[in-house]
Amino acid sequence: MIQTKNLIKTFKDGDAETKVLKGIDFRAENGQFIVIMGRSGSGKSTFLYQMSLLDYPTSGQIIINGRDTSTMSSQERILFRLTQCGYVFQDYALLPELTALENVVLPLLMQGISKKTANTIAKEALTKVGLSHRFYNLPSHLSGGEQQRTSIARAIAHKPKILFADEPTANLDNESSKAILDIFQELHRQGQTIIMVTHEEQYAMLAQKIIRLDDGKIVFDTKN
């Protein structure tokens, strides 16, 4: 379970202050597929960064599985990202000098898993996203859709409690986008908690719950 209470995020630029999140109260239960929508600049990505502990909120609380994350040290936050959550970036965020397999293996090795086991797990994850023929390709030799699927494989390989996805289909064509959404749906069917940011209305229909943000506030919270 992940919950935010009166979450505020303000950016400072000299004397100017921009309040991007204006007191968000939110709750996601385990196993839910939640889509966060909103127009550009509404704060949806910023909200995702706070929940995935990539960034620090200005004030408010983020509670994950009963633990107030404001009490976590930076090492605990890194450990949380390594073991408890998976993150799919909009621009894939693959490491260019690592093959698809190595990109997926790396976080597993960081968890102390042996190289052999990590390779097996990574291959399973890549096979799951339809990339069994691309293990040894560098990202530069993969299409955008394949890179995003590699990114998803990396995010799910260690079976995270929560999967965050920041506009995972924004840079993809329709066919690739559909393939990515199919993977998300399959993961959700298997019980994976997914929190996805998107601005594409048609994909929102796949979610159990839709959150709509506008000007840093939740203006719409509904269940499909």
Partner 1 sequence: MFEKLILNSKIGLFLAFRQIKRSSWWTTGLIVFVMVLTFLNLVVVSGILVGLIEGSISAWHKQYTGDIIISSLANKDYIENSPNIVNLLKNIPDINQVSVRFNKGVILEANYQTKKTSDKSNTASAQLIGINPDKENQLTGLAGHVTEGSYLNSSDYDQVLIGNFLLKQYVPVDNPGFSALENVGVGTKIRIILGDVIKEVTVKGILKSKVDNVSMGLFMIDSEVKNLIGRNDGNATQIAINLKQNTDPLKIKSTLILAGVNKSAKVQTYVDAQPKFLKDIIATFAMLGNALSSIGLVVAAITIFIVIFINAITRRKFIGILKGIGINGQAIEIAYIFQSMFYAILGSSIGLLIVYLGLVPLFLAHPINFPFSDGILVAPFLETLIRVGLLVFATLIAGYIPARMIVRKNTLDSILGRN
Rounded-to-10 torsion of CA 73, 79, 85, 90: 80
45: left (phi over 0), alpha (psi -120 to 50) or beta: alpha
* Tokens describing residue 74: 């930076």
State yes or no: residue 106 binds partner 1 (CB under 8 A). yes
State yes or no: residue 136 binds partner 1 (CB under 8 A). no
Q: Estimate to the nearest angstrom the gap between the alpha carbon of 61 and the chain centroid.
A: 19
Nearer to partner 1, 107 or 145 (CB): 107
State yes or no: residue 145 binds partner 1 (CB under 8 A). no
State yes or no: residue 98 binds partner 1 (CB under 8 A). yes
Nearer to partner 1, 149 or 212 (CB): 149
Binding string, residues 159-198; x marks residues near partner 1 by CB under 8 A: ----------------------------------------
Query: Least distance to partner 1 from the beta carbon of 55, Å?
Result: 5
Nearer to partner 1, 151 or 177 (CB): 151
State yes or no: residue 154 binds partner 1 (CB under 8 A). yes
Instruction: Determine the Cα–Cα distance for residues 122 and 104; give it in Å rounded to an integer.
Output: 6
Cβ contact 88:164 at 8 Å: yes
DSSP H helical ranges for the chain: 44-51, 74-83, 100-110, 115-128, 144-156, 174-189, 201-204
Q: Which residues contact partner 1 (rule: CB under 8 A)?
A: 49, 54-55, 75, 78-83, 87, 89, 93, 95-98, 102, 106-107, 109-110, 112, 138, 154
